[in-house]
Structures are given as C-alpha cells and as structure tokens.
Chains A and B, each alone.
Chain A
C-alpha cells in the first residue's frame, strides 16, 4: 500500500468542513472553502497525472479492515471509469463555491460546511471498492443535500427537499436489500472486485438487476421516476443545482457501470432492450417537456432528463462506442449542464426572475454573458467542435448498432434538443428587450469568469481533442465489455 492519495482526496473536503466550523467571518469561510476545494482539485490533477491508462486494474488502491465480522473493508481504488468522475466532482466543487459566493448570504458557514461534506461523500462514492462503504457514502449524501435544498432553496424548497429525500431513500433502501442478497450469494463479501468475479445464476441476477435498477433509475433519473428532479432543481440554490446535475445524476449511471453490468452481465444483456426503450422514452419525453417550459431552470432540468437518456442509451447499447460515448457524455453533461445552471443562477441573481418571457435582448446589456451562454448552448446541442458532439456521436453510432428504432428515436430527441435550446437562446439573448425587462444588467465580473472559464475550456478541449479523455476510460471499458459478453457467451 503506497501513499494514500485517494483517502487524502476524499478526506480533504471533510477536514476543510471541520476547519470551517471554527471560523467566524463569512469572508474567511468563503476563502477557506475555496482554498480547500482548489487544493482537492490539485490533488485530483496529481492523481490523473499519475494515472496509468494502459491497464484496467484498479489503481491507487487502499484496503483496511473495517467490520471484519461481516467482511466489510475500507477499500478505495479507481479505474478509468471512476477517474473521470473523481476529477469532475473536484472541478465542480470549486465552481460551486464560486457560484455561491454572493448568492448565499445567510448561514454562509453552514452552507459551505454542507457543500464540503457533500463533496467528500461524492468523491467517496466514486472511489469506494467495498459495497458497504459505497452504500454509506451514497446514502449519507442525502443529509447535506437535503439541507442544501431545504435551507437555502427557493420558495417551495421544503416540499422539494422532502420529495428528493423520500424518492432517493426509497430507491436506495431496496438497493440495500439487493446488496445484502448479493452478499450472501457472492460468498459473504462486500468486495466489489470479488463479487464481479462471481458467476451468479440468472434467476438471482434478474432479481438483483431490478432491485439495483430502482435505486439507479431514481438517481439518473429515468422516466417514470424522474418527477423529483424538476422540483429539486428549481428549488435548489445554484450550487445545489450544479451538484445535482453535475455529479448526483451521474451516480445512477455509474451504478449501472460499476455494479449492474459487471456483476449481473447476463441480466444486463437480457434486459438491455427494455433499458434502451426506457432511455429512448426519457430522451423524447424529457425533450418535449423542456420544449414546453417558460422557467429557465425547469427547462435545463428537463433537458437533463433527456441528456441522461443518451447516457443510459449508450451504456445499454453494450458495445464499445456506446459505453465510451455514454461515459464521455456523463462528463460532458456535468460540464455543460453545470455551466447552464451557473448561467441561470447568474441571471437570476441580477433579475430575480427565471421566466423567459421577462428577458430578451440580453446581448446588448451583457455581451460577455451571452457569448459564453451561446457556447454552452451550442455544446448542449452537440454542435461539432464542442464536447457533446463527440459523446453524442459515439452514443448514436453505438445505439444504431444495438437497435435501429432506438437510435432513430435518439436522433429525434437530438432535434428536439436543438429546438428548445435555440428557442431559449432566442428568448433570452436576442431580439428587443421584453416590455418587462426593466432590469439594469451588469455583465459577468472576474469571480464569475473564474467559474465559467474552466468549464468553457473543457467544452472546447473535449470537443476538439477528445483523445486524452477517451484514453483514460478506454482500457476499463474494454475490460467491462469482456466481463459482460465474455460471461454471457459462457467463456
């Protein structure tokens, strides 16, 4: 066991949260929180710099006994699939602190503590190699997220926080039963890698597949268990929305990749058509709902449902392009939708309205803002040269290879995406200012630019030169496919 880099990455935000408890001035709290998240980001960059892209083995592993009587260990480690999300989480962590700099003006300390605790738990989810440990991180996230939505959210925050909490809890607890059943069928261990090596009977796999599906589908969220998402997104403060869209939604898809596919390969193949159909439904349905929105935040929230449909579509295409596209889209969605929520938050701070009818002609008042907004909207539409183009292309080619009808539905969904995103840009940025637009709009300041720029860099970097990103995940995805199809064909 070498240097405990992953423990350091996970524990730094938690330690930072503990330090914040003793600070008195709000500004000191903000700067310390920023310092902690930037430090954490630096650790993640160091992790990526030392990441070996030629192997699918878990790297930076650490193992310590935790509850030996039940075979529970404190085991951390990452492969290509998790590495990207560890980095994304740390990146969005810093941006969340910047995004809440002035937007959060009461109980600043408590907010930053919740934010840092949340970040530690999310990093833990992506690093955990023990199912019990994974579950503890996964479930503990409910506490800070409940508070972030419920204490600092909009007018309907209490209802939204409840709904978020209960949906996720109900899904997760069934997942817990699945985990325990898996424990007894998989040789009484919670070690994820050992469980992956088990060959479970198809009957057991099927039951577990649906137990896991409920938990992951709520988190993704897939239609029809998506209804908590618009409420939570609309009510959450900007940082909360960024975390929700950027990281939390990824966890469901990550669950499919980490548990459903390698541990339950036969069931995954058997039910892949169902999953593809649900994905196509989410793409079209989410797109149609987004098209009908007037509230900016709701529009972005519903577009998330559609975009996450592309992710699950790619994953359950069960071929190399599909899965790599799905994972890349998860990263892209985190960057792009995170940025869109940031932009909605910026404009809301200035105008205190989210209705698109109240906007118009922003281009004149805030040229820098609208220019960057255009970039992210184009990225969300998957225009060539932006990050989502690469991901969506991979997903579509994987999807068409898996199922023609589903691929066609996804293309239709992409068209819908162009419609609602361009419509949104037209209503907000172009044309004459609306009669209600009586605001004096300030353009983005330096602090806001500091939050926007890194995201813009990633939009173009992935769009123009995706190779480094695909290299990170490539070996792991190829290994995953061997696990899925190798076992299915009886090896």
Chain B
C-alpha cells in the first residue's frame, strides 16, 4: 500500500478513528474524573466531532483499505442514525446511571466503542471487516447488558447474550469460510463476480444460509430471536433503548449490503427472507399481546418492527433499500422517545417497568402522557406521525415489486401490533392512578424527549426531505 493510498484510507475512516481515539482518551481521563457531567459532555463532543468529520467527507465515495471498507452515502446515512441514537442515549443516561450506580467512565467508553463497531459495519464491504465491526459492537453491548452487577437478571441476560452471540458468530464465520473456500474471496464485490453457473453451487447456497442466519440473529429476527426479550429486560434501560435502535440499524446496514449482493440474490434467498419477515412480525406482534412488563413488550415490539423492516429488504431495489433506511431512522426517533419515557419513570424505588405503573399517567402528567401517546401511535403506524410514513414507504416498495400478498400480510399483522400499543394508551388515559410518582425529568431527558418528539411528528408531516435523503443514500446509485 502506497503512502497516498494509506492517506486516502485513513481519510475515509477518519470518523471511526476519531471515535476510537476519543474513547481511549476518555478511558484514561475517566480514571481521574469518575463521575458527573464531564463524562456525558465529553462523550457527546466526541460523537459530534465524528459527525462533523462524516459530514465533511460525505461528498464523494471513498473505497479504502483495498476493498475492505467504503465511505459512501449509504454508510453516511447509517452513521448519522448511530450518532443520533448514541447521543440521545448519553443524554438519557446521566440521571439514570446515577440512580442505578453505574455512572462510571467505562459505561460511556463502552458505548463509544460499540458506536465505532457499528460504524465499521456500515462501511464494511468485506465479510471479514463486517465480522470485526460486528464483534466489536456485540462485545461492548454485552458488557453493558451485564452492567447492573448486583442484579441477577442483568447477569443472566449478559450470559445469554454472550453464549448465543458466540454461536451466531460461529455460524456466520462458517459461512464466510465456505465462501472463501469456494470463491477464493471474502469481498462482497468479489463474491458477486464469482456467481456464474446455473444452478448455483450447493456449497455456496449453504454458505449463504449460514451467513443469513448469522446476520438475522443480530437484528433479532425469528428463529434467532429468543435472546431479545431476556436481554432487553435484564439490561439497564438506557442500554435497552440503545440496543433496540443502533445495533439493530447496524445489523440492517450489513444485511442490505449482503442480501442485495448478486450472489445472495441469485440464490433466491428472498423467499427465505420473506418467510423470516412474516414469521418475525407475527411472533413479535402476537407474543407482545400478553406482556405485562413494559421493557419486554418493547422487546417484542422491536422484533415485530424488525420483521416489518425485513419486508423492505424483501422488496429490494432502490426503493426497497431506501424504505428500510427511512424506517430505521424513524424507528430510532420513536423508539428512543418511548424508552426515554420509561427511563424517566425510574426514580426512587419506582421502576416504571410494569405497564400498570402508568395507570392514570395522563391525569398527573398530561404533557408527558401526550408525548407517550405520540410515540405509541407512531409505533402503531397511525398518521400523521412518522411511523405511518415509514410503513407506507415499505408497502410502496413491496407493491412496486409485485408482492401485494406480502403487503396485505404486513398490514394485517400491524393491526395486531397496534392493539398492544393502544392498550398502553388505554392504561395511560383511561385508568385511575394507583399511586403518586415523580418522574426523573432532568433537562437532558427533556431535551431527548423534545428531539424525539420533533422527529416523530416532523418527519410525519414533512417526509419529503428525509425521503429524498434516503433515496439519495442508496448504494450503487
């Protein structure tokens, strides 16, 4: 590699370098400053610098590290989703981390490392760099899941995540090794070029199945969803909020790059993907109906949403990709919003994790109740909220490709999903309060709720700009 090529590579990966370096510095500084606002603001500053760098480099497509990595608009879009989710998580964490006693510097450093892993995933164009990013992200979120050291369910969740995550990584790596053995390359472009011959080499088919299985695990789709509810319930709520949004988006970034690769396309994987989408959405929606724990319900809801986004992957094509991207952006706003509300309820001895805790919330805190109403109706996909437009665009992509039956299934399942969101609205608005409570409303939490509300209603009313952004960020276009 010449010096010029190396410089270009470093330039392309500058945001990643910023985040990793920043995290390392924070790790050292954190030994002197154990707690307080400094950690939050320093972390936010690191992310903002990275965001600035990403924005400045967004002008052109920059392949780097001999085909392992690419900085294109597709990656930029996803990186901004990660930045958004990470910054909002930082803002939500300050008070919550103090209440739970986990507010030391490692918490913020691990989040930053997880962010860098996701950024690598979004930019990776080689199965190995995908794997590096994936593991970096999974290991960090895994430690964060077990951060409530004194709580058994937190430990159990972390253990479950580690073991199942390792198994899925193994499956993924096995698929990668098969691909390498059969085609002599692990680069996505190289794989595409290796597709000749009809019918496809059965070994390659097997490899595709393994890779699909490994990736599907990470977004929590059926049949690899079992870890999601337990991990979401056991993890600190801020981490659950983070995990339900950012790593999921990262998983989809990879899935889009890999699934819409000609090799996978040639293997008719879309049939498998369509089945996964239907089953995922059905399972998420139906099981969520019987949950009493808010975090568990949101875990199943996130499974259902993953299913809906996978429908966009099934549709494929430019509109399909753009629809998934837009869906994930909108999902970040509304899901972080509703999690912000849950996190805010954690105060004193009050957990805010049981749905019944919210009985009569509208009476005591009408403003906050209205916000929750907004997020819940958006998750249910009712206009004029952003959630409706997210679903609408996925349906447009599906119908455009002729998958009308899949679209019908998707909407019928979203009626089921609507039921449990509306049930929470019912508890908030139509029950009498059981006891008085005092939400932990710091200025930072307020800011988060304001940002997510602005996104949820803003994208719903003025989707044009965001839609164009997503359409322009589709790779290869």
Using CB atoms and an 8 Å cutoff, list the residues of chain A in contact with chain B.
65-70, 110, 135-136, 139-140, 142-143, 146-147, 150-151, 157-158, 161-162, 165-166, 169-170, 173-174, 176-177, 180-181, 183-184
- CB neighbours (8 Å) of A67 from chain B are 463-464, 467
Shortest Cβ-Cβ A-B pairs, 6 listed: A173-B411, A136-B383, A180-B399, A67-B464, A170-B415, A139-B383
Selected contact of B426 from candidates A140, A150, A177, A183, CB within 8 Å: A150
Bound state CA distance, A146 and B376, in angstroms? 13
- CB neighbours (8 Å) of A66 from chain B are 464
Instruction: Verify A166–B418 contact, CB threshold 8 A.
Output: yes
Instruction: Verify B429–A150 contact, CB threshold 8 A.
Output: yes
- 29 CB contacts below 8 A, A to B, read A66-B464, A67-B464, A67-B467, A68-B464, A69-B471, A135-B383, A139-B388, A142-B382, A143-B373, A143-B377, A143-B382, A150-B429, A161-B426, A161-B430, A162-B423, A165-B422, A169-B418, A170-B415, A173-B412, A173-B414, A174-B408, A174-B412, A176-B392, A177-B395, A177-B404, A177-B407, A180-B407, A181-B399, A184-B399
Query: Shortest beta-carbon distance, B410 to chain A, in Å?
Result: 9
- CB neighbours (8 Å) of A174 from chain B are 408, 411-412
Instruction: Verify B411–A140 contact, CB threshold 8 A.
Output: no
- Chain B contact patch, size range: 20 to 34
Whether a CB of chain A sits under 8 angstroms from the CB of B384 is yes
Query: Shortest beta-carbon distance, B380 to chain A, in Å?
Result: 8
Query: Shortest beta-carbon distance, A99 to chain B, in Å?
Result: 22
Query: Shortest beta-carbon distance, B14 to chain A, in Å?
Result: 31
Bound state CA distance, A176 and B377, in angstroms? 17
Bound state CA distance, A162 and B420, in angstroms? 10
Contact digits for B407-440, partner A, Cβ 8 Å, 1 yes 0 no: 1100110110011001101100110000000000
Bound state CA distance, A69 and B418, in angstroms? 28
A-B contacts at CB below 8 angstroms, number: 83
Asked whether A162 and B382 contact (CB < 8 A) given A147-B429, A177-B408, the answer is no
Instruction: Verify A173–B467 contact, CB threshold 8 A.
Output: no
- CB neighbours (8 Å) of A151 from chain B are 429-430
Query: Shortest beta-carbon distance, A432 to chain B, in Å?
Result: 41
Using CB atoms and an 8 Å cutoff, list the residues of chain B in contact with chain A.
362, 366, 373, 377, 382-384, 388, 392-393, 395-396, 399-400, 404, 407-408, 411-412, 414-415, 418-419, 422-423, 425-426, 429-430, 463-464, 467-468, 471
- Name the residue of chain B whose CB is nearest to the CB of A147: B429
Selected contact of A140 from candidates B384, B408, B429, B430, CB within 8 Å: B384
Instruction: Verify A69–B430 contact, CB threshold 8 A.
Output: no
Instruction: Verify B468–A69 contact, CB threshold 8 A.
Output: yes
- CB neighbours (8 Å) of B392 from chain A are 176, 180
- Name the residue of chain A whose CB is nearest to the CB of B322: A69
Instruction: Verify B419–A140 contact, CB threshold 8 A.
Output: no
Selected contact of A158 from candidates B366, B414, B419, B426, CB within 8 Å: B426
Query: Shortest beta-carbon distance, B431 to chain A, in Å?
Result: 9
- CB neighbours (8 Å) of A181 from chain B are 399, 404
- CB neighbours (8 Å) of B471 from chain A are 69
Query: Shortest beta-carbon distance, A453 to chain B, in Å?
Result: 35
- CB neighbours (8 Å) of B430 from chain A are 150-151, 157-158, 161
- CB neighbours (8 Å) of B419 from chain A are 162, 166
- CB neighbours (8 Å) of A180 from chain B are 392, 395-396, 399, 407
- CB neighbours (8 Å) of B384 from chain A are 136, 140
Q: Which secondary structure dominates where chain A touches chain B? A: helix
- Name the residue of chain A whose CB is nearest to the CB of B423: A162
Bound state CA distance, A154 and B444, in angstroms? 40
- Name the residue of chain B whose CB is nearest to the CB of A182: B399
Instruction: Verify A176–B467 contact, CB threshold 8 A.
Output: no
Query: Shortest beta-carbon distance, A364 to chain B, in Å?
Result: 40
Instruction: Verify A139–B404 contact, CB threshold 8 A.
Output: no
Bound state CA distance, A140 and B385, in angstroms? 9
Asked whether A69 and B467 contact (CB < 8 A) given A139-B383, A142-B382, the answer is yes
- CB neighbours (8 Å) of A169 from chain B are 382, 415, 418
Asked whether A184 and B400 contact (CB < 8 A) given A69-B467, A150-B430, the answer is yes
Bound state CA distance, A146 and B384, in angstroms? 15
Instruction: Add 17 more A-B contacts to A69-B467, A161-B430 (CB < 8 A).
Output: A65-B464, A67-B464, A69-B468, A69-B471, A70-B467, A110-B362, A135-B383, A143-B382, A158-B426, A169-B415, A173-B411, A173-B415, A176-B392, A177-B407, A177-B411, A180-B392, A180-B399
Selected contact of B418 from candidates A70, A158, A165, CB within 8 Å: A165
Instruction: Verify B382–A170 contact, CB threshold 8 A.
Output: no
Query: Shortest beta-carbon distance, B334 to chain A, in Å?
Result: 15
- CB neighbours (8 Å) of B425 from chain A are 146
Instruction: Verify A183–B366 contact, CB threshold 8 A.
Output: no
Query: Shortest beta-carbon distance, A73 to chain B, in Å?
Result: 11
Bound state CA distance, A184 and B422, in angstroms? 32
- Name the residue of chain B whose CB is nearest to the CB of A121: B384
Instruction: Verify B382–A139 contact, CB threshold 8 A.
Output: yes
Query: Shortest beta-carbon distance, B433 to chain A, in Å?
Result: 14
Which of A142, A157, A177 has the most chain B CB within a 10 Å cutoff? A177
Selected contact of A162 from candidates B400, B408, B422, B464, CB within 8 Å: B422
Bound state CA distance, A260 and B393, in angstroms? 24
- CB neighbours (8 Å) of B422 from chain A are 146, 162, 165
Bound state CA distance, A339 and B125, in angstroms? 68
Bound state CA distance, A68 and B426, in angstroms? 37
Asked whether A176 and B395 contact (CB < 8 A) given A69-B468, A140-B383, the answer is yes
Bound state CA distance, A181 and B401, in angstroms? 11
Query: Shortest beta-carbon distance, B407 to chain A, in Å?
Result: 5
- CB neighbours (8 Å) of B426 from chain A are 150, 158, 161-162
Query: Shortest beta-carbon distance, B76 to chain A, in Å?
Result: 19
- CB neighbours (8 Å) of B404 from chain A are 177, 181
Bound state CA distance, A177 and B418, in angstroms? 17
Bound state CA distance, A166 and B422, in angstroms? 10
Query: Shortest beta-carbon distance, A205 to chain B, in Å?
Result: 15
- CB neighbours (8 Å) of A147 from chain B are 429
- CB neighbours (8 Å) of A70 from chain B are 393, 396, 467
- CB neighbours (8 Å) of B463 from chain A are 67
Query: Shortest beta-carbon distance, B396 to chain A, in Å?
Result: 6
Bound state CA distance, A169 and B411, in angstroms? 9
Bound state CA distance, A180 and B392, in angstroms? 9
Asked whether A177 and B399 contact (CB < 8 A) given A136-B388, A158-B430, A165-B422, the answer is yes
Query: Shortest beta-carbon distance, B360 to chain A, in Å?
Result: 11
Which of B393, B408, B411 has the most chain A CB within a 10 Å cutoff? B411
Bound state CA distance, A50 and B426, in angstroms? 44
- CB neighbours (8 Å) of B366 from chain A are 110
- Name the residue of chain A whose CB is nearest to the CB of B466: A67
Which of A140, A161, A173, A183 has the most chain B CB within a 10 Å cutoff? A173
Instruction: Verify A183–B429 contact, CB threshold 8 A.
Output: no
- Name the residue of chain A whose CB is nearest to the CB of B404: A181
Bound state CA distance, A184 and B404, in angstroms? 12
- CB neighbours (8 Å) of A143 from chain B are 373, 377, 382
- Name the residue of chain A whose CB is nearest to the CB of B396: A180
Query: Shortest beta-carbon distance, B384 to chain A, in Å?
Result: 5
Instruction: Verify B464–A170 contact, CB threshold 8 A.
Output: no
Query: Shortest beta-carbon distance, B292 to chain A, in Å?
Result: 17
Bound state CA distance, A166 and B421, in angstroms? 12
- CB neighbours (8 Å) of B464 from chain A are 65-69
- CB neighbours (8 Å) of A110 from chain B are 362, 366
Bound state CA distance, A184 and B319, in angstroms? 14
Bound state CA distance, A174 and B388, in angstroms? 14
- CB neighbours (8 Å) of A69 from chain B are 464, 467-468, 471
Bound state CA distance, A177 and B399, in angstroms? 8
Bound state CA distance, A389 and B411, in angstroms? 42
Bound state CA distance, A162 and B422, in angstroms? 8
